[in-house]
Amino acid sequence: MSGRRLNASATVEAAYIVPFVFFVTIALIVLILMLYDRMKLCGDFRSVLEYGRIQIESGERVDADELKRVLSEKLTSGYLLCDVTDAKVTVAGEKITVSAVIVMRSPAGIAGFRMPGISKVMSYTVAGDRERKMRLIRAGREIIEGWWNDAD
């Protein structure tokens, strides 16, 4: 063996950096999957709310139990990392409210890890809201177009 010594500093630095990069990568993947599950839940809520809103606007009686059954069917599949619990549907006149809780299915969920703002999800709709919003958008568009034409 010649008198040449090998420098091991790259190995020591890699021993610190590689686990950190691995942890950050896994944490980002878990976060993305949790956000995907939350967005899927919001989409399921929107479809149930739209179903109920259409029933109200067509003059039919809206049954909260039927909406809860429809919601339960939607919540049974498609979630990657979380389970949805405590699904609730309430109908008060023309207002329909839907809420649920997302619980992580992974070991982090068993340990009690929950992300604030993601665990409890709630949404509501009021029949007639869409038409009012469309009238406001149309009025705003007319104001902007009038302003734009006056500026020319």
Which residue range is the domain that position 87 belongs to?
9-141
* 151 found inside a domain: no
Residue 133 lies in a domain: yes
Looking at residue 54, what is its pLDDT? 84
Q: Report yes or no on 148 lying in a domain.
A: no
- pLDDT given at position 17: 92
Q: What pLDDT does 18 receive?
A: 92
One-letter identity of residue 37: D
pTM above 0.85, yes or no: no
User: Taking the CB of residue 122, how many other CB atoms lie within 10 A of it?
Assistant: 11
SS3 81: coil
Asked, for residue 129, whether it belongs to a domain, the answer is: yes
Neighbours of 64 (CB within 10 A): 16
pLDDT in tens, 95-146: 888 888 887 776 665 555 555 545 777 777 776 666 677 778 888 888 888 8
Q: How far apart are CA 101 and CA 28, in angstroms?
A: 22
The pLDDT tens digits for 8-56 are: 777 888 888 999 999 889 888 888 888 888 889 888 988 998 888 888 8
Segment 68-91, tens digit of pLDDT: 999 999 988 888 888 888 888 988
Tell me the pairing of strands 120-126 and 82-92: unpaired
Which whole-number Å values give the CA distances from 93 to 39, 40, 50, 52, 71, in the listed order? 27, 27, 15, 11, 19
Scan for tokens 């999800």, then name that residue. Answer: 121
pLDDT at residue 2 in the model: 57
Residue 115's pLDDT is what? 56
Structural domain count, the chain = 1
Token pair, residue 135, equals 């009238």
CB-based contact 130:49 (threshold 8 Å): no
In-domain check, residue 4: no
Q: Is 79 within a domain?
A: yes
